Structure 1
Amino acid sequence: MGLSVCVFCASSSRIDERYLELAAEVGAELARRGHTLVSGGAKVSCMGAVARAARAGGAHTVGVIPENLVSVEISDEDSDELIVTADMRSRKAEMDRRSDAFLVLPGGLGTLEELFEIWTARVLGVHDRPLVILDPYKLFEPLRDLMTHLLEEGFNRPKVFDAVGWTASVPEAFDLLAKAQVPIQPTAEDYAESETS
């Protein structure tokens, strides 16, 4: 049985064509594997490309968009289900509620905000659903380097990397999403103050 895969991605119209092509490839692969798409409910940019490709392949698509962005992001009226929420917080909560797994494509501030919320919840053991970053163009490499630096400085624990899969391959991304995840259980030691002087 297929998964409900939440795809976080860009709604910007100023991006390179290769990112739109990646989104379309993701939508097609999602449909080929029999999954359902949960997305941000816009028909523009990568959001629109992934949804159109998923539907073209026969996938069921669920779009979730806040009321104040219906006209700005241009809501995807072709969604099999289009849910209009009161605000951004309820949008993310609804996407979370409907999803078995999370796939992050290249994107900007909004995509990063969605990534960090799901990633943090995974690290804290709030959920054990798969989270994968698909980054064939190395857009998020500086983020990975930052997380490594924060680990070295003691602000992150190694579990931060256990909570997310990184890949440059669309098929591998879906393979990772389909794997059973080991729950991450925070311990008291994770939060204990260092006793070294």
Structure 2
Amino acid sequence: MNNSSTFLLESKLKRLKISFSKENGKIIISNAKLDLTVLFGLVFLPLIVAVGIGMFFITSVANYSERIDIKILATLVFLVGIAIVNGLRIMSKLKANKNRKVLDDKGITIVENDQIQRFDATNVKDFEYMTKKLDNEIFEGKVFLIATNNQKHLVLGLDEESEHYLLDDLFWFIDYFKKHIEIETL
């Protein structure tokens, strides 16, 4: 692996908060980092505020008109919705990147459920991607390695707030992996 492409890979993984390390010229990609500020700010804080508003709503429901009750109820639903969507987003990213991937000399080794499989130009057919819209502002993408026996192996999972940026990242990773294992690009 040349240093400039390795530097770009490391930069992209850092930006996407996907954990990696370097050992003896190998890049080891493992779990996505759990961003505690995002977890607290976008999951726990909305839930805590929703519980507080809910408690206030229950204890003082007789003192307010029906119009305010609908606003409070809508706010509760909105806050709980934010917490659920962001919680699912975090869990999806952690699940997609739970297996260990080792980029070594012209190959990718995937450690999955205590099984070790090494892929190189002789047993990889292609790479493909999949995208999914999680909500109005968040898109999830995954990069799969397609073995010559047509089995799909998840290599990376990431999310972005822009579908355009997500597709750019997915295409970049696919191109990087193809060049790394030296399979022909069509």
Which TM-score applies when normalising by structure 2? 0.27
Which TM-score applies when normalising by structure 1? 0.26
**Structure number with bigger Rg:** 2
RCO greater where, 1 or 2, for CA within 8 Å and sep 6 or more? 1
